[in-house]
Chains A and B, each alone.
Chain A
Amino acid sequence: MAGPSTNAAIALSLRENGMAHWLRIGFYKVGPFFTVTALLLTWELASRLELVIAFLLPPLSVVLLRIAEDMVAGQLPLDIAITLYRTLVAFVLAMVIGISLGIVIPRVASIRWFFDPIISIGLPMPKIALLPIFMLWFGLFDTSKILMVAFSASFQIIITTWSATQNVEKELIWSARSLGASNRQILWEVIFPASLPQILTGLQIAMPVCLIVVLVTEMVMGGQGLGDSMLRSARYVDSPGVFAGIVEIGIVGFCVIRSMELIRRRLLVWHQETQKEETTV
């Protein structure tokens, strides 16, 4: 009679499965924090135990203290504000240019004729190589920085908008048309919302590009901001200052990317990706 013992075995294995389940969930929830914490801890210890020279890698605690000091002194908030301002203005500019060109290019033959070769050459090219020209043309202040950043980021947005608006299911367009929509209504009420998920993906790729190029222009041209302050620290051989800059940039970048994800989720409430578990079958 194997009855009761089998039952017990099943109960046991169920309990084990339950525990394994929770362990797995815990692992995935804590996982990302664990990796970052481990990395930061290694950093602190490597420096404190003098495995590396403190000049090459100052301890994390020193760097954090430095960040706190800059914060209180008011220089750090200013730098962050300036960098964010340049990034966002350039991003909005790139978004407006990118989305409108991405919509117009495939629909107007003459504009396509003009822009198609430019985009084919420009997309794979490292746009930052044109920085000297932007400096010559637009000077060393915000104008040239913002234009350089917007220029670098807009190609990606043009391409994704272009391909997304071209690949809308024809049945969607047909059904709108047979419901009485005009060409213009079809563009704004069908093609645009149908392409929005891909357009947002393009914007999400363009955002880090904006941040990167802003930092580079600040490093090259100065004029405050996180990139400028980091490069200045390097010139003064101020190693904690340089590492403080890296941590600050990391945090700012993380926040910017996260807010893009939140905006995406807000805009795409209707999309499958935002509501996996609520499907009625």
Chain B
Amino acid sequence: MASVARSGREHDNPAAAPGISISGVCHEYRPANGRPVLALDDISLEVKDREFVSILGPSGCGKSTLLYLMGGFMPLQQGEIIVAGKTVTGPGPDRGVVFQNFALFPWKSVRDNILYGLEKQGLPREERLEIAQHYIDMVHLSGFEDSYPSQLSGGMKQRVAIARTLAIKPDTLLMDEPFGALDAQTRSLMQEELIAIWNRSPTTVVFVTHDVREAVLLADRVAVMTARPGRLKEIVETKFADAPHDEIVKSPEFLDKVDYTWNLVRAEAVAADAEKAG
């Protein structure tokens, strides 16, 4: 059973320092012709083991850049990022990534997309199929195993992408505006599903978004970034009592936090606009 295989994972590597440690990270984009742009300025952030942290900021503040650096997709120019005790030097299956545009392999069926990472882990065929089916069922896509991504709706595609990432059992989940391309209803369903999955098997999650409500609702802590160059402005504690989403979103604490966080982001968005105009 795939679920049995999963439960052992928590004790796999007790020596490693869990969580994510980002210290003094700067990043500059150097376009071939034009002035270099400082995207990230001295970012330091600690994410605890199995904590759900959201990175929130106005568009263009470098929050996706920070996530890509954690993923190891771009070389680190300055500073250090340590994920689960290991210094990040490149991409790897210890950090699962979910992209805004799904990044599914369009020539592979739903099942084959999910199997891809499992093949790379060299698991026996029987086990791979079993794990893939487990995650297909988990994201409610039973019956669509043989469909191609082009035959699915946006919400279904994103569920495939999440299943594909979860199937390789990453210690850390990096999500780049995963629900940004979805309509409001699908988005709120997906948010609930993500939290349900996360409650069943908590991992360290870094969730980039520009949606204040989404960040406050999902995350334990929300890291608010400034407009370009991106600096860490404030970290807001957003852990609420265990309750269904529709109850949380009506509670005064939640509304207060959303209002407070919204004002932080708004100030930055205004600043970004002023800079653009100036």
Contact = CB atoms under 8 A, between A and B. Distances in A.
A179 B117 contact: yes
Contact of B150 (A169, A180, A271): A271
B150 A179 contact: no
B117 A270 contact: no
Given A179-B164, A180-B121, A174 B116 contact: no
Contacts of B151: 275, 278-280
Contacts of B149: 270
Contact of B99 (A175, A181, A190, A194): A175
B99 A275 contact: no
A271 B117 contact: no
Interface residues of A, number: 26
Contacts of B144: 280
Interface class of chain B by DSSP:
loop
Interface in B98-145: 99, 101, 103, 105-109, 116-117, 120-121, 144
Interface stretch (B15-23, B88-96, B244-252): B88-96
Contact of A174 (B93, B97, B152): B97
Nearest to B121: A180
Nearest to B95: A178
B168 A169 contact: no
B156 A280 contact: yes
A183 to B, nearest CB: 11
B73 interface: yes
A128 interface: no
Contacts of B147: 280
Interface string A157-183: 000000000000101101111111100
A270 B93 contact: no
7 contacts: A175-B97, A175-B99, A175-B161, A177-B73, A178-B93, A178-B96, A280-B151
Smallest CB-CB A-B distances: 7 pairs: A180-B120, A179-B117, A171-B103, A270-B148, A177-B91, A175-B103, A180-B93
Interface of B: 68, 71-73, 90-93, 95-97, 99, 101, 103, 105-109, 116-117, 120-121, 144, 147-153, 156, 161, 164, 168
Given A178-B92, A279-B152, A280-B144, 6 more contacts: A175-B99, A176-B116, A177-B91, A179-B117, A280-B153, A280-B156
